[in-house]
Amino acid sequence: MRASPNDRPRRRASPSLARRIARPLVSAVLLLVAVLALALSAWIAWTQYARALRETQSVEPLAGGQGRWVDVGDARLYVQEWGHAADPVLLLTHGTGAWSGTWFGLPDALAAAGWRVVAVDLPPFGLSTTPDEGGAVDYSRAAQARRLLALAGTLGSDLTLVGHSFGAGPALEAALGAGAGSSGRALRRLVLVDPALGLGPGGEPPQCEARAGPGVLLGSRALRTTLVGATATWPGLTGPLLRRFVHRRDAVTDALLPAYRLPFARAAFSQRLGDWAAAFSQSACEPADSLRPERLTRWAAQGVPVALVWGEEDRITPLAQGRALQRWIPGATLTVLPGVGHIPHIESPEAFATALIGVLGPAR
């Protein structure tokens, strides 16, 4: 009886043929990995070399004779001022990667509306300094708020606070302590602009993740300094990184970039920025009153006017977060800017200045 074709042994590919096919593929993959590793190593080496050459200056020459420093105990805060000394004080706190020199035309518009505008640099940004530049600095929201209140105590009048993005957290925390804190002054009004408070995408309260640290990259000072020096403080990436925060990307022009880059020349700036990033990554775990919705609701009952200004197209802190804050701060108003993302003062400066002046009301 003859065997059927199906009963015959199937011919298998020769092991030597499979090896001949796999060998060049493996070699190509290994070569690609080696090239990428070499390119990455070269990039890191170059950026660290350039950082060492760039980060050499002290803050005084970088200020160029503008502004002044205010001693608040654990820091010397750099501030710039516009308007008349007798006008009501409006204190501006900036967002991540910004400083008092990146408000551009906004302070002039506010000063023309009758305000004494004071823009402050929150450590480690801009030109503010801390006593121990190489050691542990408290970058918590509560510590930044204490610095703001100490600064407010030197300004000589009641205070209106305007906080943008990251700067809104310390501004809100300071507002909760105003009147009972070191400033001894009543808060006139609080304005939060696209605040980055650590809320969830839908406005969920901040959640502390139980983990030992911010991860291996941010947990190691050497690694995070290297990472920051190759990305956040690398001048060639300033434009691309800034455009990730906005809706109108054409608004990030080359003319704006030198202002953002100016602090990059500070000695050990990447190291300090890395230290801040490690602390900020754990900000949801801080025992801060401004992270507790029930505390905000109780504070709102005191009657301090609160205004929220939000870019409708903000993808960093979505508008849903503003709706949540309205629920937690009864009486807060919400002004939505159409066609604007996370940085309204560069995306739509005239419309934002008009909206901000409107929610502030008359200076006197």
Q: What pLDDT is recorded for position 106?
A: 98
Q: What pLDDT is recorded for position 35?
A: 75
Give which of 177, 183, 147 is closest to 73, Cα–Cα: 147
Question: Among the listed ranges 51-65, 91-105, 202-216, 239-253, which one has the minimum average pLDDT value?
Answer: 202-216
Distance between CA atoms of residues 298 and 48, nearest Å? 49
User: How many Cα atoms sit within 13 Å of 117 on the Cβ side?
Assistant: 24
Q: What is the average pLDDT across 178-190?
A: 65
Distance between CA atoms of residues 322 and 364, nearest Å? 28
Is 173 within 8 Å of 96 (Cβ atoms)? no
Q: What pLDDT is recorded for position 180?
A: 42
Distance between CA atoms of residues 206 and 283, nearest Å? 9
The strand pair at 76-82 and 68-71 is best described as: antiparallel
Look over the chain and give the mean of its residue pLDDT values, rounded to a whole number: 89
Burial class of 226 by CB neighbour count within 10 A (0 to 12, 13 to 18, 19+): buried
Q: What pLDDT is recorded for position 359?
A: 98
Q: What pLDDT is recorded for position 7?
A: 53
Place of tokens 């050691």: 135
Give which of 310, 308, 96, 281 is closest to 206, Cα–Cα: 281
pLDDT tens column, 258-315: 999 999 999 999 999 999 999 998 888 888 899 999 999 999 999 999 999 999 999 9
335-364 b/e (C-beta count within 10 Å ≥ 16 → b): bebeebbbbbbbbbbeebbebbbebbeebe
Say which DSSP state 282 is in.
Answer: T
Question: What is the value of pTM for the model shown?
Answer: 0.88
Distance between CA atoms of residues 310 and 274, nearest Å? 28
Q: What pLDDT is recorded for position 335?
A: 98
The helix (run of H) or strand (run of E) holding residue 118 is strand 116-120
Q: What pLDDT is recorded for position 181?
A: 39
Q: What pLDDT is recorded for position 158?
A: 80
pLDDT tens column, 192-205: 999 999 999 899 99
Evaluate if residue 250 carries a pLDDT over 60: yes
Distance between CA atoms of residues 347 and 204, nearest Å? 27
Contacting residues for 270 by C-beta, under 8 A, at least 6 apart: 51, 55, 225, 228, 229, 232, 233
Distance between CA atoms of residues 240 and 358, nearest Å? 32
30/131: higher pLDDT: 131
Question: Among the listed ranges 126-140, 143-157, 180-194, 207-221, which one has the minimum average pLDDT value?
Answer: 207-221
The strand pair at 89-93 and 159-164 is best described as: parallel
Is 165 within 8 Å of 192 (Cβ atoms)? no
239, two tokens: 């434009």
| Count of all residues that appear for the chain in the document | 364
Q: What pLDDT is recorded for position 174?
A: 96
Q: What is the average pLDDT across 1-27?
A: 60
Distance between CA atoms of residues 185 and 206, nearest Å? 29
Q: What is the average pLDDT across 76-96?
A: 97
Q: How far does Cα 183 stand from its chain's mean position? A: 25
Contacting residues for 352 by C-beta, under 8 A, at least 6 apart: 106, 309, 337, 340, 344, 345
